[in-house]
Homo-oligomer: A and B are copies of this chain.
């Protein structure tokens, strides 16, 4: 069907019967947390997602912009995020990488999160006693995109990781979803890193333990959908309601071709994406900041204000 998604949860929805995948769901009030583990290479190939853990937090009430829900989801992210770090010790160092183009709102989630990260690496190096207890060393960069820097993100980060030697990289990026409704309401966390483009094949160019030499936890939020998936979903929904199996099959077979001829690979985002990015950047930065600095959060907040 040629439907692309960055979310393991959606890949799984489309292929619910593949073996080698474990799934678990948890409901906390209005928030759903799904935990998927891709365990076999065959499952990985079929889902087009590398082996590893995928946690999706879905909070439909986020779109109401209620500050209580923002806080709740930030807290949930902080816990899930820390659970994906291979080492959670108080002396670890972490490099937060905000991927994407800060000039394109729908792609600016990463850089906006980086602006809100409590950066402490220079304090731990130069003023280790200022806090009075061990503090995790956090650095944060937004390396830009190939089109505006002329340098591949991986090239940019390899040299940096060699010098900063973090215990883990946390990569934040905007994702493509199959369902527009997930844009303001879902967050995916994974220990498999970032795999740009459509699959796991070119993992050499992704940001992964293999390419960077340190574990990479990725946190992403859907911000765009392919226009074609909106049409495909509609046809399927109509076909279901009308019981038109045969005709729908025929139409879906034509859809890809017709859509790509008339629309091209059009990628869309909600009209209010500015608000979504702003809210989500705050929630994810809260999750990372609270997770890494929980023990002395209020102190750090003041110190770095």
Is the pair B271, A255 in contact by a Cβ cutoff of 8 Å?
no
Complexed CA–CA distance, A68 and B180 (Å): 36
Q: How many copies does the complex hold?
A: 4
Residues of B within 8 A of A228 (CB): 234
Is the pair A150, B302 in contact by a Cβ cutoff of 8 Å?
no
- A interface: dominant SS: helix
Among A75-83, A100-108, A197-205, A283-291, the one that faces the other chain is A100-108
Residues of B within 8 A of A273 (CB): 105-106, 269, 273
* Cross-interface CB contact of A233 among B143, B147, B262, cutoff 8 Å: B262
Is the pair A151, B121 in contact by a Cβ cutoff of 8 Å?
yes
Is the pair B139, A302 in contact by a Cβ cutoff of 8 Å?
no
Complexed CA–CA distance, A143 and B157 (Å): 12
A24 on the B face (CB < 8 A): no
Complexed CA–CA distance, A259 and B106 (Å): 24
Contact-residue size bin, chain A (C-beta under 8 Å from the other chain):
35 or more
Residues of B within 8 A of A270 (CB): 266-269
Within 242-272 of A, Cβ neighbours of B (below 8 Å) are at 242, 244, 247, 250-251, 254-255, 258-259, 262-263, 266-272
Residues of B within 8 A of A235 (CB): 231, 234-235, 238, 251
Complexed CA–CA distance, A66 and B299 (Å): 10
Is the pair A242, B263 in contact by a Cβ cutoff of 8 Å?
no
A19 on the B face (CB < 8 A): no
Complexed CA–CA distance, A158 and B159 (Å): 8
Query: Which positions in A face B, CB cutoff 8 Å?
Result: 64-68, 103-107, 115, 119-122, 137-144, 146-152, 155-156, 158-160, 162-164, 180-181, 224-225, 227-228, 230-231, 233-235, 237-239, 241-242, 244, 247, 250-251, 254-255, 258-259, 262-263, 266-275, 301-302, 305
16 CB < 8 A contacts A-B: A106-B273, A119-B148, A122-B147, A140-B148, A155-B163, A180-B263, A224-B271, A227-B268, A234-B262, A235-B251, A238-B258, A244-B251, A247-B251, A267-B270, A269-B269, A273-B273
